[in-house]
């Protein structure tokens, strides 16, 4: 059995329609586009939030939210260490100070002890990121934040169906951001949405969104083509006859697939944000988003079920460590990370059995040269980051395929 690492969820029909929509000169003529507003508010409604505002990227949703909060210069914004590096640049460029809070050992949950220790009178915001769809103990986190008057912003880019205590993530903080980039269950090639129930914040965000430049159509088209290439490369015959043999052949050198997928190829200390970050979300993307919103839930429910079943079957395996999960919560299982001393070795072992796993793409903020002067410290996350490998998981994966993956992982014995 041949098992690719991922599947693109956007249909060929939706790809084609979006392509034509991007070329249509009648689109994107209004600064406050009704179709973009419809998409963003439908997105917000999924999370019982009254307002949704779309931006060209989730990170820009974060940027505009920080701006709208109007914090005193030098205020501290806390963030966890496995992230998109630009989030650090955005905090800096808003005149604020980034503070990195560690994760728990062998886990993607924020470490509440480290959180408490790093709070100072200047701490004003925590951006809490639900990595891979894992739920966290919200009661505990909110208690710490409330006691210290800290605003919670949530990054739910990887957690569309995650809940804690019967409440969806994205509804615990003042606002939540969602990325719509490649492989996300609701993807519009690129883009991001901020959802909130705070009327004043929503009004400021809408004003910011309307003030952006016209959509960067070329950029969206490039990402659309990238999606098509992935879709083709991951499909049946092409994957088994061309891509898999190439991945096997070059397994000693590099995973060319993940290098191509990674959007943030190099990390720098930015002096300003690129002008392409100040563009609007396009009408064609909004139409695609509306279609994706109609479809994503059934697939994500399957993904969740497969994820939990894989977790149960692998829990007693001695060949790998599973990151801790909260059993009492609803975990989304957007990806399926396992921890192992030598991820490269496990990757090659799986490849021999035609299973295509993938490496971590998120940056480890603590180890980025560009941010060295901040002297961030997060030893647990450093250790976790060096040991992650992602097993394939997606709504289309069969039970038989997930059993093959599990057997192969159990068979693995580190050299």
Give the residues lining the site for ligand PLP (CB under 6 A): 57-59, 84, 129, 155, 157-158, 179, 181, 192
In the chain, DSSP finds a helix count (H) and a strand count (E) of 15, 13
In this complex, which beta carbon is closest to ligand PLP, that of residue 186 or of residue 322? Answer: 186
Least Cβ distance, residue 182 to ligand PLP (angstroms): 8
- Residue 190 or 408 having the CB closest to ligand PLP: 190
Token representation of residue 205: 């965000």
For residues 157 and 402, which CB has a smaller minimum distance to ligand PLP in the complex? 157
Is the separation of the CB atoms in 50 and 202 below 8 Å? yes
Q: With respect to ligand PLP, which residue has the nearer C-beta, 192 or 392?
A: 192
Two tokens at 287?
A: 């139409």
Which lies closer to ligand PLP via its Cβ, residue 58 or residue 88?
A: 58
Q: How far is the CB of 191 from ligand PLP (least distance, A)?
A: 6
**Residues of 380-411 as b/e, b for ≥16 C-beta within 10 angstroms?**
bbbebbebbbbbbbbbebeeebbebbbebbee
Shortest CB 375 distance to ligand PLP, Å: 23
CA distances from 48 to 51, 57, 196, 272 (A): 9, 22, 9, 35
How many CB atoms sit inside 10 A of residue 303's CB?
A: 25
Instruction: Considering the complex, state which of residue 219 and residue 395 has its C-beta at the smaller distance from ligand PLP.
Output: 219
Q: CB nearer to ligand PLP: give 58 or 365.
A: 58
| Residue nearest to ligand PLP according to CB distances in the complex | 179
For residue 48, the minimal CB distance to ligand PLP (Å) is 21
* The CA-based dihedral angle spanning residues 276, 282, 288, 291, taken in that order and rounded to the nearest 10 degrees: 130
Residues 6+ apart with CB under 8 A from 99: 76, 77, 78, 79, 118, 123, 376
Q: What stretches of 84-202 adopt beta strand conformation (E)? A: 97-100, 123-129, 151-155, 163-164, 167-168, 175-179, 192-196
CB nearer to ligand PLP: give 84 or 201: 84
Q: From the CB of 56, what's the least distance to ligand PLP, in Å?
A: 8
Distance CA 101, CA 119 (A): 10
Q: Report in angstroms the alpha-carbon separations of 142 from 91, 126, 131, 195.
A: 22, 10, 18, 19
Taking the complex as a whole, how short is the minimal distance between the CB of residue 22 and ligand PLP, in angstroms? 18
Please tell me whether residue 8 adopts helix, strand or coil conformation: coil
Tell me the C-alpha distance between 364 and 381, whole Å.
8
Spatial distance between the Cα atoms of 350 and 347, rounded to a whole number of angstroms: 5
Which is closer to ligand PLP, CB of 69 or CB of 169? 169
| Shortest Cβ 286–ligand PLP spacing (Å) | 15
**Tokens read off for 334:** 């957007």
Closest distance between ligand PLP and the C-beta of residue 405, in Å? 23
Q: How far is the CB of 129 from ligand PLP (least distance, A)?
A: 5
């Amino acid at each position: 059995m041949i098992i690719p690492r991922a599947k693109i969820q956007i249909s060929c029909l939706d790809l084609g329609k979006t392509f034509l929509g991007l070329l249509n000169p009648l689109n994107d003529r209004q600064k406050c586009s009704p179709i973009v507003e419809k998409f963003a508010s439908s997105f917000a409604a999924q999370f019982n939030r009254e307002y949704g505002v779309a931006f060209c990227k989730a990170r820009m949703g974060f940027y505009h939210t920080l701006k709208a909060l109007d914090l005193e210069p030098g205020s501290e914004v806390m963030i966890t260490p496995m992230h998109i590096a630009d989030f650090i640049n955005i905090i800096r460029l808003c005149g604020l100070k980034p503070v990195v809070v560690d994760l728990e050992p062998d886990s993607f949950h924020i470490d509440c002890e480290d959180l408490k220790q790093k709070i100072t009178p200047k701490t004003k915001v925590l951006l809490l990121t639900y990595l891979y769809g894992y739920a966290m103990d919200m009661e505990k986190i909110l208690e710490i934040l409330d006691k210290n008057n800290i605003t919670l912003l949530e990054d739910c880019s990887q957690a569309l169906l995650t809940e804690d205590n019967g409440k969806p993530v994205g509804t615990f903080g003042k606002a939540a951001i969602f990325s719509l980039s490649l492989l996300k269950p609701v993807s519009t090639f690129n883009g991001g949405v901020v959802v909130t129930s705070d009327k004043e914040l929503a009004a400021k965000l809408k004003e910011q969104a309307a003030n952006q430049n016209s959509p960067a159509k070329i950029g969206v088209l490039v990402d659309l083509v990238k999606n098509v290439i992935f879709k083709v490369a991951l499909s049946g015959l092409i994957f088994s006859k061309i891509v898999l043999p190439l991945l096997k052949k070059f397994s000693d050198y590099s995973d060319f697939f993940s290098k191509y997928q990674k959007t943030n190829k190099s990390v720098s200390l930015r002096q300003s944000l690129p002008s392409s970050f100040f563009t609007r979300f396009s009408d064609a993307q909004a139409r695609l988003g509306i279609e994706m919103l109609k479809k994503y839930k059934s697939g994500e429910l399957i993904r969740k079920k497969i994820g939990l079943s894989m977790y149960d079957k692998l829990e007693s395996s001695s060949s790998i460590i599973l990151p801790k999960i909260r059993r009492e919560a609803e975990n989304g299982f957007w990806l399926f990370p396992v921890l192992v001393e030598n991820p490269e070795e496990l990757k090659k072992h799986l490849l021999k059995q035609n299973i295509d796993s993938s490496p971590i793409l998120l940056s480890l903020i603590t180890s980025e040269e560009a941010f060295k002067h901040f002297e961030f410290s997060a030893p647990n996350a450093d250790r976790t980051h060096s040991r992650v490998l992602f097993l394939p998981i997606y709504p289309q994966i069969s039970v038989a395929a997930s059993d093959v993956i599990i057997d192969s992982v159990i068979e693995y014995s580190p050299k």
